[in-house]
Structure 1
Amino acid sequence: MSSCVKVAAIHAASVFLDRKKSTEKAIGLIREAARSGAELIAFPESFIPGFPVWAALWPPIDNHDLFAAMARESVLVDGPEMNMLRAEARELGVFLSVGFSEKSPVSVGGLWNANVLIGDDGSILTHHRKIVPTFYEKLIWASGDGAGLAVADTRLGKIGALICGENANPLARFALMAGGEQIHISNWPPIWPTRRPKGGGNFNNVNANRIRTAAHSFEAKAFGIACAGFMDAKMRAFLLERDPAIGDVIDGTPRAASFFVAPTGEPTGETAQDEEAIVYAEFDLEDCVEPKQFHDVVGYYNRFDIFDLRINRTRLVPMKTAGASDPDFVPVDPDFDEPQAHPRTTEGLR
């Protein structure tokens, strides 16, 4: 089996707040990347149905209609849009990393910032919800959990992914390193406004993303795919039509870039920033081996007698039920006034 993998990052704009058209656009881009030989294709943060940048631009009391639109256009992980992408992956024999706004099956306004890794057989290998929404994202998305904080062992190698600011979370990153990660995917929004131009010092997200991506690859000795969204003319016009006064803010905010890094943290492959593009890189996973001689933080270059990381991978749900047909049902002993301890609750505590 060859250790070389051709990967692609989709540096493209969503069809803003339109899940159907964004999915159709994604499928067209997947087909183009597959024709060019890409076996692993990554999409930006919340590509379906788009990134809610308005949360940075106006107070939440002015954005009720936009939140309602985001809730309406977000997708279920087992919904028709995801099924279309899974079918495409299976048909083309490619792996897909897709950022999307996930809606809750039990709450019409419950949303998560999510990412799935879809296998070349169409199966969902990992389903991750961003652990903590960043800054103004908290006005849109709920906190996720550790259920998807995992690495998929595939024929291409071991693949992991984190969303945007999670790539500055040392423990989240270490969890993927400890899973043997060889290819790390990070996905990002098209712009990230933090200040008005006259205030100065707008957060340089492009520089920050390069630092975070390079740092993770250097520490993990893994290849990195940084895949960012793009703000096209239609998205810009939509925002300006709502409020022309924010033109200086969005035009004065750096546009995100998509790029690749080697296990040394150095750049490799193609890059894109100022226009939509599919960029490509060739990863030879054998290049992950030699740097491990210098620092292997999940091997010899650590002290596990000193440090201990534990991860709760329970998928959080709003309600748990117990009944005679439920495998977690705990019967009550009539001779005792409290429920018996379920074996699974005490396992490992003795």
Structure 2
Amino acid sequence: MSEKRIIKAAAVQITPDFESHDGTVKKVCNVIDEAGAKGVQIIVFPETFIPYYPYFSFITPPVTAGAEHLRLYEKSVVIPGPVTQAISERARMNNMVVVLGVNERDNGSLYNTQIIFDATGEMLLKRRKITPTYHERMIWGQGDASGLKVVDTAIGRVGALACWEHYNPLARYSLMTQHEEIHCAQFPGSMVGQIFADQMDVTIRHHALESGCFVINSTGWLTDDQIKSITDDPKMQKALRGGCNTAIISPEGNHLTEPLREGEGMVIADLDMALITKRKRMMDSVGHYARPELLSLAINDAPATPSFQMNEHRLKSVQLPIAEELKNDNKLSSGQ
């Protein structure tokens, strides 16, 4: 009989330090240490938590948001760099898989980036949100499918998506086809009110059911003072409250512990990995319950770059179709 696999998981609800980039990094490190003392083996932080989610972009017209946007540029994370080094060391020290959301700066662009560190401290995955949502398009560039990967970690196969990427069924299915065991979901929290929290709950529970995996979901939290520092308009302040649902979901779509809807904190649960087989025995969306000869997914997972070297092989792949097209055109013009 195989040994029972039980993984202790944590989802964090936490406030950033708006004034200090280093302060937010320190909070992350302290929480990892706190979780490590409790035996946690995988921990998930909120969407773009370092230095902070750009809440200002949700309530501020672009024409007046320039100063805040530039401030975000100045505080954003270069990968690799001091921030990833600090988190890598903390992951290694605590023998813990760490899933972190950051604002990544790549030269002149910002990206909503998710990073998965293994328990050894190795950075296994850096992926970018493929489609920033609504107001976010004023802040971040678009990611590509090269990051739609599930990685082997010390505790199992782990994948991640950010916020409304969960409403892209093909993005979710791409992870399902890679036999994701633990899905890490990140949302900003402190936005839109209760309806956002309720929708989020449906979304993460549905993914758990459909994929037959565990879901660890983390949302951010803003204090009243932080909200007031973003805007002094009471109506706009209301738009930055609620919308938190830090939770851990089983492959059967059940909450494994009471979700956290307000305040800072951490939800911790044991993941009995045998529940994955229990669910997939009944319904495996990418196995015995799939019909790939009828419906299948095509993914362009080549990294999107503004330029590439046209080597001999690639040059032929471009030239041959053009030559064939010209040949056909000549036949038509000659009446053949």
TM-score, normalised with respect to structure 2: 0.89
1:42-53 to 2 correspondences below 5 Å: 42-53=44-55
C-alpha contact (below 8 Å) 2:47/2:187 kept by paired residues? yes
Q: How far did 1:288 drift?
A: 0.7
Paired residue type of 2:186: N
SS in 2 for 1:30: helix
Q: Distance in 2 between matches of 1:227 and 1:309?
A: 28
What is the match of residue 235 of structure 2? 248
Q: Distance in 2 between matches of 1:44 and 1:308?
A: 32
1:183-332 to 2 correspondences below 5 Å: 183-193=182-192, 204-240=195-231, 244-245=232-233, 247-251=234-238, 253-320=241-308, 322=309, 329-330=311-312
Q: Distance in 1 between matches of 2:145 and 2:68?
A: 29
Deviates more, 1:218-227 or 1:253-262: 253-262
SS in 2 for 1:187: strand
Q: Distance in 1 between matches of 2:19 and 2:302?
A: 31
C-alpha contact (below 8 Å) 2:195/2:243 kept by paired residues? no
C-alpha contact (below 8 Å) 1:269/1:282 kept by paired residues? no
| Alignment deviations for residues 243-279 of structure 1 (CA, whole Å, 9 cap, x no partner) | x22x233335424120111111111124212110011
Paired residue type of 2:252: T
| Alignment deviations for residues 10-62 of structure 1 (CA, whole Å, 9 cap, x no partner) | 11011126322111110011100111110101000010011111111121001
Structure 2 unpaired stretches of 5+: 322-336
Runs of 4+ in 1 over 6 A off after TM superposition: none
Q: How far did 1:98 drift?
A: 0.1
Q: Of 52, 67, 73, which residue of structure 2 is paired with 1:65?
A: 67
Q: Distance in 2 between matches of 1:259 and 1:116?
A: 19
What is the match of residue 113 of structure 1? 112
Q: How far did 1:191 drift?
A: 2.2
Q: How far did 1:119 drift?
A: 0.5
What is the match of residue 332 of structure 2? none
Q: How far did 1:233 drift?
A: 3.7
Q: How far did 1:230 drift?
A: 0.6
Q: How far did 1:316 drift?
A: 1.9
Q: How far did 1:81 drift?
A: 0.7
C-alpha contact (below 8 Å) 1:17/1:50 kept by paired residues? no
| Alignment deviations for residues 155-208 of structure 1 (CA, whole Å, 9 cap, x no partner) | 311111100000111001001111101111100102233xxxxxxxx6711001
Q: Distance in 1 between matches of 2:252 and 2:69?
A: 41
Q: Distance in 2 between matches of 1:22 and 1:318?
A: 33
Paired residue type of 2:288: Y
C-alpha contact (below 8 Å) 1:45/1:229 kept by paired residues? yes
Q: Are 1:163 and 2:151 matched, yes or no?
A: no
TM-score, normalised with respect to structure 1: 0.86
What is the match of residue 178 of structure 2? 179
**Change in 2 beyond 3 A, CA 1:203/1:314:** farther
Task: Indicate the structure with greater helix content.
Answer: 2
Q: Distance in 2 between matches of 1:57 and 1:213?
A: 26
Q: Of 39, 51, 55, which residue of structure 2 is paired with 1:37?
A: 39
C-alpha contact (below 8 Å) 1:163/1:188 kept by paired residues? yes
Q: Distance in 1 between matches of 2:291 and 2:278?
A: 21
| Alignment deviations for residues 273-305 of structure 1 (CA, whole Å, 9 cap, x no partner) | 211001101101101111112211100101100
Paired residue type of 1:283: L
Paired residue type of 2:209: F
